[in-house]
Chains A and B, each alone.
Chain A
């Protein structure tokens, strides 16, 4: 009995129901078993108790009229196929029901056993396929959603990866830049060393004849009577030219011979005082007041005293040249935290000269001279840049200073005084404080080896 296909007929007209029941009694429909209810509410309570494989639905019921009847049943039982029963006059309504999802429609009075059987079988099968299709579609949609999500994850991972690579590429570029800089520095250093060797050789050979020319000129000066004006002028020119040639040789020699330093821990006032002593004559001649402000309790600094003396000579000479009518030369030394200075070489990178927390010796040289035209400030450290070429300037003075400071891993900056303080130039040099422990350890190592 259970193998029979259950059909629920929802039909209020006893007459019409009778006709349907009669058809089901025919042998062609012996595999079907028919239940009948007269209205929707009874249909729903029937379906709560048991299931059926198909509903034959009359669209004109006491509690349901027209298409609405169909929609209610379909909504309550979406999985059960529904075949609509209509009268001949209601065929349009039946077509609407088909559109809305009914499996078939049968016109009352025009149904025989065979038609009914076929309609029911098709309806059940169609509904089953539709349901399967719906499940497939659902599954497919689920899969598509899943895939979309996976793709989106992959995309965002790729984006992260791309960002990482971009960062790495940037880092690589920076490293390459640094390497290039190092390479050109190495080439530069090698060039300088070659020039240095060449220059000191030439200097020695040239200075001997210069010494002879100078002595000869001075000899002739004494021998020529003072009234021989032209000759006196010529001799003076000769002497000045000789001194100029000497200055240039000295400049080239200075510029090219800074590769090796003879560093000693000393007080910073040592090279400053030595430079002042050597320039005493010029300072007095041009009435320049020297004001020193150097605390006595400053820590030592590790420097090549001769080279650092040269730094101060070159700086002081520049100041003297800037004050032909006299003026003031102030030299000040302070111990300052590196972070208070501005330089691209203060930081935590390996190539930085100072850590921000380092204590640094800052030497300030300040004059009351004519100052430097703003457009020249960026060029003053360039080799051979000079505004005094006709007065014997080599353009190497500040280039030498810059090289020496850099070889000590120190910093140098040059600027004009702020307008409210009057004219003049301020040069600021920052040098490392000598770390005693490190030095002693180095000494110990040396004596052990």
Chain B
């Protein structure tokens, strides 16, 4: 179990969360926790201590940008890398190095498992 990277996914699409969790954990490289309510993002992060947080942008209760902002102001959580996963943008608007929304990298939905893993690895802090 040791050595698996912890990923927190916050997305209001429940089935999307479930499937991404299944796909990522299937590789044996990741341990995934999912939240479908934006408001649950910070408590979950404090509890789970993820290596990377993947945020949807458009969510009914709190939008991903707001969550990212709160994370950046939290002394305990501000160093956890954050990326956006969204249907709002198109892939040519992003370079592989990652253009950013509010200083954060983002990737466009729909995304293949390989693309997602690549994105996470590129933007995770290297230990």
Residues of A whose CB lies within 8 Å of any CB of B are: 203-204, 207-208, 210-216, 218-219, 222, 242, 246, 250, 253-254, 274-275, 277-278, 306, 309-310, 313
Contacts and interface: CB of A to CB of B under 8 A. Distances in A.
Given A204-B87, A207-B87, A208-B13, A215 B93 contact: no
B111 interface: yes
* Residue with the highest number of chain B CB atoms closer than 10 Å, among A204, A207, A211, A212: A211
A253 B87 CA distance: 12
Interface stretch (B19-27, B39-47, B60-68): B19-27
B109 interface: yes
Contacts of B90: 250, 253-254
A225 to B, nearest CB: 15
Nearest to A310: B92
Contacts of A242: 110
Interface in B70-105: 87-88, 90-93, 95-96
* Residue with the highest number of chain B CB atoms closer than 10 Å, among A216, A218, A254, A274: A218
B48 interface: no
Q: Give 4 closest A-B pairs by Cβ, nearest first.
A: A207-B87, A215-B19, A211-B110, A211-B109
Contacts of B91: 278
A254 B89 CA distance: 11
Interface residues of B, number: 23
A242 B23 CA distance: 17
Contacts of A207: 87, 108-110
29 contacts: A208-B13, A208-B87, A210-B109, A211-B16, A211-B87, A211-B109, A211-B110, A212-B16, A213-B110, A214-B111, A214-B112, A215-B19, A215-B20, A215-B113, A216-B19, A218-B23, A218-B113, A219-B23, A219-B26, A222-B23, A222-B26, A242-B110, A246-B110, A253-B90, A277-B95, A277-B96, A278-B92, A278-B96, A313-B92
* Residue with the highest number of chain B CB atoms closer than 10 Å, among A219, A253, A313: A219
B58 interface: yes
Contacts of B92: 275, 278, 306, 309-310, 313
A141 B96 CA distance: 98
Nearest to B19: A215
Contacts of A212: 13, 15-16, 19
A204 B19 contact: no
Contacts of A213: 110
A277 to B, nearest CB: 6
Nearest to A250: B90
A275 B95 CA distance: 9
Given A215-B23, A215-B113, A306-B93, 8 more contacts: A204-B87, A204-B88, A212-B15, A215-B110, A218-B23, A242-B110, A254-B90, A278-B96
